[in-house]
């Protein structure tokens, strides 16, 4: 298939593009490089240096080739920042996606895979979280992702655009074949923060609270390898094209690891001390978040293969220690 990957120079976007290319698909990456990196681009994929706010460029790109589908991974994704600067998230995540949807209608692109997030669920009412769990986002980032899912539902109904909305849990790790090297800039997520501390970019990291109701007092999260996420995108695209049917699905490992477990395993794998200090809780952090991926398994035959803690950390360290 001929696929337009919007945000394809980003951390997840580059792994998704690599997966599509490995499967023999033709890819065009559309990215403004605001957080995506040129070094994440592949020679086999055409690159358009464009912004999703630039409707005309976006539309011209969509019309430049007979695209079978687009994958939309271009968004701001820091939950904490979204509470301090909601305007940025309204603009990038909501207005940007409306541009993409309207340009897709004009260009006749009928299949969309959308990068959503477990943040749509908010505070867990039960665990593991399945797709029937109430969606009550606690941060503006999660709100934007949920609202976009609602737009997609309407465009399915009114414009026959079929979509797959993939609710990622905590994306982590790097390409198991070491082909992607671009490091996220100023990351806030646990794994890259640990990696930056391990290689001395940061002097010390903070553990945001150790008084949660978990076995060691630190928060538990469902970390899913970015190669597993990429496979999920390919299976999801095949499904909507083949069945002409939209769906929403969780993508997680179904395992939960605490901050302490991740930190200890990182010290073991890297051989580095990784200085860490326990500080105040970060507001909005639930004690535990783990996914049920029964639906992804039944619908797509998808199951995380590389999301064990050792692989997540080993592949991350291979990228950071270079
Ligand atoms: C994980 C755990 C922190 C950094 C966020 C978004 C979510 C998704 C993934 C996009 C938490 C602790 C972290 C640090 C720490 N993004 N931590 N010290 O908050 O689970 O989810 O990223 O889809 O939408 O909300 O991920 O990696 O920030 O935190 O102690 O320096 O690590 O408190 O318990 P989170 P995270």
Q: What is the CATH number of the domain that holds 72?
A: 3.40.50.720
Count of alpha carbons within 13 angstroms of residue 319, beta-carbon side = 26
* 141 is known as an active-site residue: yes
For the chain, what is the mean pLDDT?
Answer: 97
Q: How confident is the model at residue 208 (pLDDT cuts 50, 70, 90)?
A: very high
Question: Is 184 within a domain?
Answer: no
Question: 79-110 pLDDT, tens per residue?
Answer: 989 999 999 999 999 999 999 999 999 999 99
Question: Is 51 within a domain?
Answer: yes
CA-to-CA distance for 174 and 204, rounded, in angstroms?
22
Enter the DSSP assignment of 126: S
Question: Is 181 within a domain?
Answer: no
Mark whether 201 and 310 lie in a shared domain: yes
Output the CA 233–ligand 1 centroid distance in Å: 22
Output the CA 189–ligand 1 centroid distance in Å: 5
Show the tokens assigned to 170.
């905590």
Atom 3 in ligand 1: residue holding the nearest Cα = 208
Instruction: Report yes or no: 296 and 252 within 8 Å, Cβ to Cβ.
Output: no
Output the CA 285–ligand 1 centroid distance in Å: 8
Mark whether 111 and 19 lie in a shared domain: yes
Mark whether 37 and 9 lie in a shared domain: yes
Question: Is 180 within a domain?
Answer: no
What CATH number did the domain enclosing 303 receive? 3.90.25.10
Q: What is the pLDDT of residue 322?
A: 85
Question: Is 182 within a domain?
Answer: no
Mark whether 285 and 211 lie in a shared domain: yes
Question: 12-41 pLDDT, tens per residue?
Answer: 999 999 999 999 999 999 999 999 999 999
Show the tokens assigned to 88.
């940025």
Q: Which of 251, 268, 290 is the last residue of a domain?
A: 251
Q: How confident is the model at residue 301 (pLDDT cuts 50, 70, 90)?
A: very high
Residues with CB under 6 A from ligand 1: 77, 79, 117, 119, 141, 168, 170, 188-190, 193, 205-208, 219, 221, 259, 282, 285
What residues make up the domain containing 139?
Answer: 2-172+224-251
| 181-185, 215-219, 247-251, 268-272: least confidently modelled range | 181-185
Mark whether 258 and 247 lie in a shared domain: no
**pLDDT exceeds cutoff 90 at 266:** yes
Q: What is this structure's pTM? A: 0.97
Mark whether 128 and 54 lie in a shared domain: yes
* Alpha carbon of residue 117 to chain centroid: 7
CA-to-CA distance for 126 and 39, rounded, in angstroms?
41
Mark whether 199 and 123 lie in a shared domain: no
Number of domains in the chain: 2
Q: What is the pLDDT of residue 284?
A: 86
Mark whether 126 and 105 lie in a shared domain: yes
Question: 224-242 pLDDT, tens per residue?
Answer: 999 999 999 999 999 999 9
Residue 45, classified by CB atoms within 10 Å of its CB into exposed (0-12), middle (13-18) or buried (19+), is buried
What interhelical angle do 226-243 and 11-22 show, nearest 10? 60
Mark whether 216 and 146 lie in a shared domain: no
Q: What is the pLDDT of residue 98?
A: 98
Q: How confident is the model at residue 147 (pLDDT cuts 50, 70, 90)?
A: very high
Mark whether 83 and 194 lie in a shared domain: no
**pLDDT exceeds cutoff 90 at 283:** no
Mark whether 211 and 145 lie in a shared domain: no
Mark whether 15 and 139 lie in a shared domain: yes
């Amino acid at each position: 298939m001929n696929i337009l990957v919007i945000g394809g120079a980003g951390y997840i976007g580059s792994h998704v593009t690599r997966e599509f290319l490995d499967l023999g698909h033709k890819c065009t990456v559309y990215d403004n490089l605001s957080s995506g990196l040129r070094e994440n681009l592949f020679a086999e994929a055409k690159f358009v240096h464009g912004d999703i706010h630039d409707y005309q460029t976006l539309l011209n790109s969509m019309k430049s080739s007979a695209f079978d589908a687009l994958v939309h991974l271009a968004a701001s994704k820091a939950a904490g920042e979204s509470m301090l600067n909601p305007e940025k998230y309204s603009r990038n995540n909501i207005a940007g996606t409306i541009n993409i949807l309207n340009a897709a209608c004009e260009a006749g692109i009928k299949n969309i895979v959308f990068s959503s997030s477990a943040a749509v669920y908010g505070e867990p009412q039960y665990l593991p979280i399945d797709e029937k769990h109430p969606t009550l986002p606690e941060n503006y980032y999660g709100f934007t992702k949920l609202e976009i899912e609602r737009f997609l539902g309407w465009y399915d109904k009114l414009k026959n655009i079929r979509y797959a909305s993939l609710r990622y849990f905590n994306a982590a790790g790097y390409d198991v074949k070491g082909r992607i090297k671009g490091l996220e800039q100023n990351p806030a997520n646990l794994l890259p923060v640990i990696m930056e501390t391990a290689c001395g970019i940061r002097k010390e990291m903070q553990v945001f609270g150790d008084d949660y109701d978990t076995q060691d007092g630190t928060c538990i999260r469902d970390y899913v390898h970015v190669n597993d996420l990429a496979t999920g995108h390919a299976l999801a695209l095949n499904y909507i094209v083949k069945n002409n049917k939209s769906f929403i699905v969780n993508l997680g490992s179904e395992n939960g690891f605490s901050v302490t477990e991740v930190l200890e395993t990182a010290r073991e794998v890297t051989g580095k001390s990784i200085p860490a200090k326990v500080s105040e809780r970060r507001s909005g952090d639930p004690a535990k978040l783990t996914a049920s991926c029964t639906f992804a398994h039944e619908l797509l035959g998808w199951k995380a293969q590389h999301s064990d803690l050792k692989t997540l950390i080993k592949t991350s360290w291979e990228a950071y220690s270079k």
